Structure 1
Amino acid sequence: MSAADGPARGHTAATLYEAAVAAEGPGRYAMDVGIRATWPGARVAAPAFTVQGAGGDNLALQHAILEAPAGSVLVADVNGADWGHWGEVLAVASQFRQIAGLVIDGGVRDTVEMAELDFPVFSRHVSVRGTRKLFRGALGVPVQVGAVTVHTGDLVVADADGVVVLPQHVADRVLDTADERVAKEADIIRRLKAGESSLDIYGLAEAGRG
């Protein structure tokens, strides 16, 4: 399956953020900038499976690996805690279950190993500290991750620029708007390569003049 056939139609997080604002108006579609890729080139686009865990404990994540549908991305709230809640062992277990990746408001470790596995992870911290395994947490419930409320089934798109979450009821409209934006941008790039200026293309030549 090509990227264009995937859940995000091949669109980047930045494109989808702009499309969401254009299609739905101002809203909280992007996680805060503290949630970022743990290794260069990490990228994921998949429906969310949400995890409410606890800081310094990764038992909820281990249960989530067994419960999440294949093709989903785990989206976990562990209260921003800077323990290493996730590492190589859980990434390998997730790949066996065909889980697409992890977005976590907290810490992870083994980032080199996860890059070698090509398992995309987006987190607030990288930390060597291990965790306890006591709190089963809750799965499939609304969570707050990176200041965004995420529900199971929401479309999550994450790459080098950040993490965008599209609620299920707006995702198709936003994707259609993104398709239109990409087509327009392709024409703008063509015109720039032909020598036109961005000021002229966007009608900004007179902007800022009093």
Structure 2
Amino acid sequence: MTTALRTEHTSATLLEAAKSDIALDPALRPLWPGARLAGPAYTVQGVPGDNLALHNAVAAAPPGHVLVADCGGGPFGHWGEVLAVAAKERGLLGLVIDGAVRDSAEQAGLGFPVFSRGIAIHGTAKRYPGILGRSVLVGGVVVRTGDLVVGDADGLVAISSAHEAAVLAAADSRVEQETFIVSELSKGRTTVELLRLNPLGD
């Protein structure tokens, strides 16, 4: 089951458009080249070395959502191929986890977008049920269920649902402006001129 991305804007464009620091820790990286996700968050509070919360989240999250999980950054393989298959079949758009994952080659083959703090092969227990739908701190940013999460090769951003429409509109304007600049560069103009920069600095 597949669901369209919420926005095609890049993480960098959205960060600039937001004019506030909505970027998650750059140490959270895509598991495989080309991974990209964009959709509303479904939040998961877990603990290091236990992944029952993630199993519960996959079962509970509505289709078209991105799981955003705080697992304490622990060096355990909290998420792997089986959970990725389950999530994809249930129409979830991806995973952002403050913690490690495993089965990287298999997940790349599935095309399921995962952003994590690293890869670790140590297994996990299944004892802590987790807390679903409550605000979590992931990558230094508080994320709430329903916030727009966007991830790509450059990084991750989380936009509060209250500000989403304004940020997306500002991103549209920014892309339009940059498209104009690129077209003018092909005519021989310079970025100094187009961006009205002072070549001598401040």
Q: What's the C-alpha RMSD, in Å, of the aligned pairs? A: 1.3
Structure-1 separation of matches of 2:140 and 2:14: 18
Give the structure 2 partner of residue 185 of structure 1. 178
Give the structure 1 partner of residue 163 of structure 2. 170
Query: Cα deviation per residue 1:23-69 (whole Å; 9 max; x = unaligned)?
Result: xxx3x301011111011000000100000000000000000000000
> SS state of the match for residue 158, structure 1?
strand
8 Å Cα contact 2:5/2:37 also seen in 1:
no
Report the number of matched residues: 200
Give the structure 2 partner of residue 41 of structure 1. 34
What TM-score, normalized by structure 2, do the two folds share? Answer: 0.96
Q: 1:140-179 to 2 correspondence within 5 Å? A: 140-179=133-172
Give the structure 2 partner of residue 197 of structure 1. 190
Structure-1 separation of matches of 2:83 and 2:200: 53
Give the structure 1 partner of residue 95 of structure 2. 102
Q: Does 1:11 align with 2:9?
A: yes
AA at the equivalent of 1:70: P
AA at the equivalent of 1:36: R
Structure-2 separation of matches of 1:129 and 1:19: 40
Which runs of structure 1 show a deviation greater than 2 angstroms over 4 or more consecutive aligned residues? 205-209
> CA offset at residue 149 of structure 1?
0.2
Q: Does 1:76 align with 2:69?
A: yes
Q: Which runs of 5+ in 1 are unaligned?
A: none
Structure-2 separation of matches of 1:41 and 1:7: 17
> CA offset at residue 206 of structure 1?
3.0
Structure-2 separation of matches of 1:34 and 1:206: 34
Q: Does 1:112 align with 2:105?
A: yes
- Over the matched positions of the two proteins, sequence identity in percent amounts to 51
What TM-score, normalized by structure 1, do the two folds share? Answer: 0.92
> CA offset at residue 204 of structure 1?
1.8
Give the structure 1 partner of residue 18 of structure 2. 20
AA at the equivalent of 1:119: F
Query: Cα deviation per residue 1:104-150 (whole Å; 9 max; x = unaligned)?
Result: 00000011111100000000011111111110010000000000000
Q: Which runs of 5+ in 2 are unaligned?
A: none
> SS state of the match for residue 99, structure 2?
strand
Structure-1 separation of matches of 2:104 and 2:187: 43
The 3 A distance-change label for structure 1 pair 6 and 41 is closer
Structure-1 separation of matches of 2:6 and 2:110: 22
**Structure with the largest fraction of helix:** 1
